[in-house]
Chains A and B, each alone.
Chain A
């Protein structure tokens, strides 16, 4: 930035202007492009440092992929590859693109940073060798230098590639979709993961700032004969795409979707666990998607390949674009709607531009119009709105949890649609106990609109509610919030709303209620196993105590006869060591054995009768052959696909009375 690149130079004085009002002369009215704004305030979008940027880039790309696939009701197949690029390779890459003269400034900037790094590294080394009292001029510089080294020292370069089987993009739209900040297809009142048309562009801005390499996109839409290949970067100052290459290529494989490749600076070592955690969370909330995550580097032992397999082909319905709910309307919005509407009169306007307002209702509203208008009446008739939401669904949530967390127990709950500030939302919760790789204590996965919530963990409403409710064990809590309009900021805001707390509370409570009965059963089963051990455990304590009292009494009895008859007889035996501890112990053990046997019989009889609640099972269909075999029995029909379905991997347990419906 501090070099005299032609495009970047205007930024600097402007920045100084805003910060130092002393130079009043230069305060000319200037406009800033959105791209510039976001380039300067990267942290808004989660690009605070290289590590976080890598993380956010992966997130943004993956979420775009999911949105894209879901928008055409395709089961998402997503491949994410992070490839580490060594210094030498990277340098050669820069050499390769050297012909793209436009970015010269940025490369220079990068080089200079590198040079500075080297220089400062040298300085610190020198400083270590030398005594602490170096020259004063150096001393003022060094703290920042050290910091710089620490922050950038571990940073390296990565090529992030993300491929999906989604909708793809139209050939002509691609440059604008990537090269223009705040342009997008997801504006409007429709539930999508992305909202502002910022994610992919921010990745591009970051790549331009950190490496200067352009983004590469290849995409094809369903039924298109060609794929579009586009290499572009962004003119930050003017917020327009700068196209390097934009061409049509053959689409031999009938592929549709998009593949995006971007080279950025990042930090794998510190963000490794976060990225993997994110992928895992994604797999929980979207069990109908297939993820392939790879990390490739020169060091083979560091490579990671994880496949999150698909477990179901039931997808949440496509969210429908909705109109505004009357209670969400503010002055600005209504003015805009009035300007845009094609309707002739007020009646039609009300009827068509808002959700939940029928003709008669609109008429009544108009009659009532004026200060007496009460928004309350409108909020009441609200539930029919849920169609515009596409929550993960209880089934998918459950499946995701079972698939990824392998819990011992799981319970899920899905609330009914509610409204907040005019935006409909649904709360779904799942609680699971035990499982693989579970940290001790409470683990909370939070989702909003089916993407993991990452920031402010611990201070949000879910965590706070959960901590109040659940107190122990290795436990996973998955909460998914689905809202029609929602961004990171609003999510944060939501945490203080008492109303929401109640909703979260009820859903978590519902889960816990479900779990309770399961836990009771499990405890019974465990007691069953441990009963004998527990019962036998205290035999020595008890018999020692009893024998102790008896022998004490016997001693006293010897001095002063206090007992006659049966009791005296017992005491006599004790003093004569005919009645010993061991004898008592044996008798008691015998009794315990007998009781244990009886109880085991009891338990076996009881548990034989009980029946688990039934659930529909959806099994992913393999490619359709139609010659299947039906196995008929009196309770169900088992339809076997001879080609691919491996029956040996599926097993069902059922009591003779239960029914299984297989939907294949």
Chain B
């Protein structure tokens, strides 16, 4: 860190670089920016002591459904309960059926007080003796058996493992994955409680120390790529950090740039990415960091509808996993950039902007109707601007001014101006 500080003034002395890199002059010295960040993080530390709201606080527990973490034996017991029930049904000669919570978009509800999507209580029956449901019922039964085996042996497998145990029946992984979510809904537990995990996808780097299965990990010393986020959150603990904020990055490329430039040493922070659509592990990890360290989360996503969508998945949850949104969502994520208004503000040249396709525009317009966008007037404004100008840009568009523009000018300036929504 010392090193960096020495270098920086030298660069800014260079008249030529200054004239080339726009807005560089406006940057205040680092200590000033740091003090801004400090006040931000301190204000958060003091205020966020209140317990987060739950469904029952709002009197919604009867109309909405939420799952909890269950231990293995309770999961096992739940499965056995269902199996006893269907055995009885079969033996009585009336076939059998499952009661599965509906996970379709009609059964979702955005609760503004909680700022996340929750699942309503509608159930659908999945009878065996029906042409349209027979397949799903068969898959569900098989998944129940496999999860039951995991419980008795108390081991973890990945979703891919699970799929390969009976490829012939499952046909493709999306089917077994979907039914797995159904099963966690049915049993009322989180997917991690089923001992089924997704393979590692997210990475984290920066001022964070935590224990993974007992080993102490220092994320400043994990090399350039950072530490892969452990797939099961229950073995993660003892989080410690001197960071002032968490920087959530949509894309691997931007993450690499920041990691290589050791951005976290100039401004103490934790950088995390899920490389696109976030998986469950990354979402759980981000939530855990946010709650335990009480740090502000700033998001750096592409300036297109999908960037905002990804942001919303971190913040309010996805519709697919809404039954577990309580555990998966991270409240209060700030949209730092790249925002549609930044395109003109930072004079991104036309050739780096892309025209939005019809599909993009449609997605953008659809998102304007979504409750989680509407609740934030700043977001609505930005998204309307995007749809109006019909232009999008990736984080990489900033590389027009040099590969390091992102880490050297753009982000520091953003932080200095507290330019987040």
Cβ A588 vs Cβ B128 within 8 A: yes
Contact A535:B141 (CB < 8 A) given known A567-B84, A595-B95: no
Assess whether B94 is interfacial by the CB under 8 Å rule: yes
Which one of B88, B135, B145 lies within 8 Å of A545 (CB-CB)?
Answer: B145
Cα–Cα, bound, A527→B129 (Å): 13
Assess whether A534 is interfacial by the CB under 8 Å rule: yes
Cβ B129 vs Cβ A535 within 8 A: yes
Cβ B134 vs Cβ A538 within 8 A: yes
Cα–Cα, bound, A88→B145 (Å): 82
Cβ A545 vs Cβ B95 within 8 A: no
Contact A570:B95 (CB < 8 A) given known A542-B141, A549-B145, A549-B148: no
Cβ A570 vs Cβ B84 within 8 A: yes
Residue of A nearest to B82 (CB): A549
Cβ B80 vs Cβ A549 within 8 A: yes
Cα–Cα, bound, A491→B24 (Å): 58
Cβ B93 vs Cβ A549 within 8 A: no
B140 to chain A, nearest CB (A): 9
Contact A541:B128 (CB < 8 A) given known A549-B83, A570-B87: no
Contact with A along B112-154 (1 / 0, CB 8 A): 0000000000000000111100110110011011001100100
List residues of chain A with CB within 8 A of the CB of B144.
545, 549
A561 to chain B, nearest CB (A): 14
Cβ B90 vs Cβ A584 within 8 A: yes
Cβ B131 vs Cβ A587 within 8 A: no
List residues of chain A with CB within 8 A of the CB of B142.
541-542, 545
Contact A534:B137 (CB < 8 A) given known A552-B152, A587-B91: no
A-B contact number at CB 8 A = 83
Assess whether A592 is interfacial by the CB under 8 Å rule: yes
Cα–Cα, bound, A250→B106 (Å): 83
Which one of A527, A541, A556, A579 lies within 8 Å of B141 (CB-CB)?
Answer: A541
Of the listed residues A535, A545, A592, the one surrounded by the most CB atoms of chain B closer than 10 A to its CB is A545
Which one of B83, B90, B138 lies within 8 Å of A541 (CB-CB)?
Answer: B138
Assess whether B79 is interfacial by the CB under 8 Å rule: yes
Cβ B152 vs Cβ A548 within 8 A: no
Residue of B nearest to A540 (CB): B138
Of the listed residues A541, A542, A552, the one surrounded by the most CB atoms of chain B closer than 10 A to its CB is A542
For chain A, what secondary structure do more than half of its interface residues adopt (helix, strand, loop), or is it mixed?
A: helix
List residues of chain A with CB within 8 A of the CB of B131.
527, 531, 534-535
List residues of chain A with CB within 8 A of the CB of B83.
546, 549-550, 553
Assess whether A590 is interfacial by the CB under 8 Å rule: yes
Cβ A542 vs Cβ B137 within 8 A: yes
Cβ B87 vs Cβ A584 within 8 A: yes
519-537 of chain A: CB within 8 A of chain B:
527, 531, 534-535, 537
A640 to chain B, nearest CB (A): 46
Residue of B nearest to A548 (CB): B145
30-86 of chain B: CB within 8 A of chain A:
79-80, 83-84, 86
Interface size class of A (residues with CB under 8 A): 20 to 34
List residues of chain A with CB within 8 A of the CB of B94.
591
537-572 of chain A: CB within 8 A of chain B:
537-538, 541-542, 545-546, 548-550, 552-553, 556, 566-567, 570
Cβ A587 vs Cβ B93 within 8 A: yes
Of the listed residues A537, A556, A566, A588, the one surrounded by the most CB atoms of chain B closer than 10 A to its CB is A588
List residues of chain A with CB within 8 A of the CB of B88.
566, 570
Cβ B86 vs Cβ A546 within 8 A: yes
77-105 of chain A: CB within 8 A of chain B:
none
Cα–Cα, bound, A546→B98 (Å): 13
B358 to chain A, nearest CB (A): 12
Contact with B along A573-595 (1 / 0, CB 8 A): 00000010001100110111001
Assess whether B169 is interfacial by the CB under 8 Å rule: yes
List residues of chain A with CB within 8 A of the CB of B93.
587, 590-591
Interface size class of B (residues with CB under 8 A): 20 to 34
Which one of A541, A584, A595 lies within 8 Å of B129 (CB-CB)?
Answer: A595
Cα–Cα, bound, A546→B146 (Å): 11
Cα–Cα, bound, A595→B97 (Å): 14
Cα–Cα, bound, A592→B91 (Å): 13
List residues of chain A with CB within 8 A of the CB of B137.
538, 542
Cβ A545 vs Cβ B128 within 8 A: no
List residues of chain B with CB within 8 A of the CB of A541.
138, 141-142, 169
Which one of A549, A579, A590, A595 lies within 8 Å of B79 (CB-CB)?
Answer: A549
Contact with B along A586-628 (1 / 0, CB 8 A): 0110111001000000000000000000000000000000000
Cα–Cα, bound, A548→B146 (Å): 9
Cβ A588 vs Cβ B145 within 8 A: no
Which one of B90, B135, B169 lies within 8 Å of A587 (CB-CB)?
Answer: B90
B138 to chain A, nearest CB (A): 4
Cα–Cα, bound, A556→B148 (Å): 12
List residues of chain B with CB within 8 A of the CB of A595.
95, 129-130
Cα–Cα, bound, A579→B169 (Å): 25
Which one of A538, A542, A553, A592 lies within 8 Å of B80 (CB-CB)?
Answer: A553
Which one of A534, A546, A556, A590 lies within 8 Å of B87 (CB-CB)?
Answer: A546
Of the listed residues A566, A567, A592, the one surrounded by the most CB atoms of chain B closer than 10 A to its CB is A567
Of the listed residues A549, A566, A595, the one surrounded by the most CB atoms of chain B closer than 10 A to its CB is A549
B74 to chain A, nearest CB (A): 12
Residue of A nearest to B129 (CB): A595
Cα–Cα, bound, A385→B313 (Å): 57
A553 to chain B, nearest CB (A): 5
B155 to chain A, nearest CB (A): 14
A582 to chain B, nearest CB (A): 12
Cβ A538 vs Cβ B138 within 8 A: yes
Residue of B nearest to A599 (CB): B131
Contact with B along A129-152 (1 / 0, CB 8 A): 000000000000000000000000
List residues of chain A with CB within 8 A of the CB of B79.
549
List residues of chain B with CB within 8 A of the CB of A590.
93
B275 to chain A, nearest CB (A): 31
B25 to chain A, nearest CB (A): 49
Cα–Cα, bound, A579→B134 (Å): 23
Cβ B90 vs Cβ A592 within 8 A: no
Of the listed residues A546, A550, A567, the one surrounded by the most CB atoms of chain B closer than 10 A to its CB is A546
Residue of B nearest to A592 (CB): B129
A194 to chain B, nearest CB (A): 42
Cα–Cα, bound, A534→B144 (Å): 21
List residues of chain B with CB within 8 A of the CB of A566.
84, 88
Cα–Cα, bound, A591→B93 (Å): 6
List residues of chain B with CB within 8 A of the CB of A535.
128-129, 131, 134
Cα–Cα, bound, A595→B96 (Å): 12
Of the listed residues A534, A583, A591, the one surrounded by the most CB atoms of chain B closer than 10 A to its CB is A591
Cα–Cα, bound, A45→B138 (Å): 63
Cβ B87 vs Cβ A550 within 8 A: yes
A533 to chain B, nearest CB (A): 10
Cβ B138 vs Cβ A592 within 8 A: no
Residue of B nearest to A585 (CB): B90
List residues of chain A with CB within 8 A of the CB of B145.
545-546, 548-549
B135 to chain A, nearest CB (A): 7
Cα–Cα, bound, A273→B135 (Å): 45
Cα–Cα, bound, A584→B87 (Å): 8
Residue of B nearest to A593 (CB): B129
Contact A552:B148 (CB < 8 A) given known A546-B83, A570-B84, A595-B95: yes
29 contacts between A and B (CB under 8 A): A531-B131, A538-B134, A538-B135, A538-B138, A541-B141, A541-B169, A542-B128, A542-B138, A542-B141, A545-B141, A545-B144, A545-B145, A546-B86, A546-B141, A548-B145, A549-B79, A549-B148, A552-B152, A556-B152, A579-B87, A579-B91, A584-B90, A587-B90, A587-B91, A588-B128, A590-B93, A591-B93, A591-B94, A591-B129
7 extra A-B contacts, CB within 8 A, seeds A556-B152, A588-B96:
A534-B131, A542-B138, A542-B142, A567-B84, A588-B128, A591-B128, A595-B130
- B residues near A (Cβ < 8 Å) are 79-80, 83-84, 86-88, 90-91, 93-96, 128-131, 134-135, 137-138, 141-142, 144-145, 148-149, 152, 169
Instruction: Report the 10 A-B pairs with minimum CB-CB distance, sorted nearest first.
Output: A538-B138, A545-B145, A591-B95, A595-B129, A545-B141, A549-B83, A542-B141, A545-B142, A541-B138, A548-B145
